[in-house]
Amino acid sequence: MENPVTDTLKPAPATPLQPRRRAILIGAAQGIGAALAKKLADEGYTLALVDRNPERLNKVCVDINANGQSAVPYQHDVTDYESVPATLCRIVADLGGLDLFVYVAGVIHFPALDEYNFEQDHKMVEVNLLGAMAWISQVAPMFQNAKRGQIVGVSSVAGDRGRIGNPGYNTSKAGLTTYLEALRNRLTRHGVNVITIKPGMVKTEMLTLPGAPRPMFAVTPEQAANEIARAIRKRKQVTYVSGLWRWIMLVIRHIPSVIFRRMSF
């Protein structure tokens, strides 16, 4: 949590004449999270950016603050579940409230088709699913009591079906998708908007890892950020990024198991 470079930095305060929406982004040091942080800063949000790598996180904040916008870094590893309540309290006190919570953090390991790797599967479930649950289970009651707020989780098209390529990643994202759907069903009646983002392929470091598939209909992190920001503005429920994946996955989801298990997709 200590950050010698930016510990003196505080978020720009809201005033009656200049109300500011306040957002927390988890996993904002690079890729989709960093691009979304810049986009939300452009839209006037005051940001608390959370990630485990302080150097990269500081750089994103310095870039945003250099534009006269407001972002403060908080170093945190999402697998440190016990520290989530205190970290959230500190951030909400610093921001003076909270309007939007976004969970983007994620990891992936691309296994070979004959590889069954519990250590890697464990990491993916810890970061992609349990980290999200640790944070959102603290944010949800806050928003439920306030009868307002938005929760966004970045899941994946990979959660829509169990495919031969990556059972562990598929499972972590299917779990996140279901968790978000359940929370949406709980919280919509309390005025809270829960959005599931399902990217197809986005040109980030993730797609450069060993074993990564050839990019297909891949968009830039900035394009992904624009579509996520639009989903937030429009208070959507489920958004595929890019929109083309909505149609691809509509077909994929309806392929009968008896055929799907013979496919290499």
Ligand X SMILES: NC(=O)c1ccc[n+]([C@@H]2O[C@H](COP(=O)([O-])OP(=O)(O)OC[C@H]3O[C@@H](n4cnc5c(N)ncnc54)[C@H](OP(=O)(O)O)[C@@H]3O)[C@@H](O)[C@H]2O)c1
Q: Is 91 in the site for ligand X (CB under 6 A)?
A: no
116 noted as active-site residue: no
Identity of the amino acid at 30 = Q
Identity of the amino acid at 103 = Y
- CB neighbour burial string for 93-128, b if at least 16 within 10 angstroms, e if fewer: ebbeebbbbbbbbbbbbbbeeeeeeeebbebbbbbb
Give the interface segment with ligand X, choosing from 10-18, 30-38, 60-68, 134-142 (CB under 6 A). Answer: 30-38
Q: Is 199 in the site for ligand X (CB under 6 A)?
A: yes
List Cα–Cα distances, 179 to 153, 161, 167, 202, in angstroms: 10, 16, 18, 23
Q: Is 53 in the site for ligand X (CB under 6 A)?
A: yes
Q: Is 202 in the site for ligand X (CB under 6 A)?
A: yes
* Distance between CA atoms of residues 113 and 25, nearest Å: 34
Please report the DSSP string for 81-125 in residue order: GGGHHHHHHHHHHHHTS-SEEEE---------TT---HHHHHHHI
Contact flags string 96-125 toward ligand X, x per CB under 6 A = --------xxxxx-----------------
Q: How far is the CB of 164 from ligand X (least distance, A)?
A: 18
Contacts of residue 248, Cβ cutoff 8 Å, sequence gap at least 6: 157, 200, 217
Radius of gyration of the chain, Cα coordinates, nearest whole angstrom: 18
Tell me the three-class secondary structure of 215-233, residue by residue. Answer: CCCCECHHHHHHHHHHHHH
The correct pick among 207, 238, 248, 252 for binding ligand X (CB under 6 A) is: 207
Shorter beta-carbon distance to ligand X: residue 12 or 241: 241
Give the interface segment with ligand X, choosing from 45-53, 111-119, 229-237, 248-256 (CB under 6 A). Answer: 45-53
Contact flags string 166-185 toward ligand X, x per CB under 6 A = --------------------
The single residue of 45, 74, 169, 179 carrying the catalytic annotation is: 169
The correct pick among 6, 11, 23, 51 for binding ligand X (CB under 6 A) is: 51
The correct pick among 3, 14, 52, 109 for binding ligand X (CB under 6 A) is: 52
* Cβ-contact 28, 50 below 8 angstroms: yes
Contacts of residue 72, Cβ cutoff 8 Å, sequence gap at least 6: 6, 9, 10, 11, 47, 48, 49, 61, 94
The correct pick among 64, 78, 194, 225 for binding ligand X (CB under 6 A) is: 78
Contact flags string 132-171 toward ligand X, x per CB under 6 A = ----------------------x-x---------------
Residues serving a catalytic function are 169
Which residue ranges make up the site for ligand X (CB under 6 A)?
27, 29-33, 51-53, 77-79, 104-108, 127-128, 154, 156, 199, 201-202, 204-207
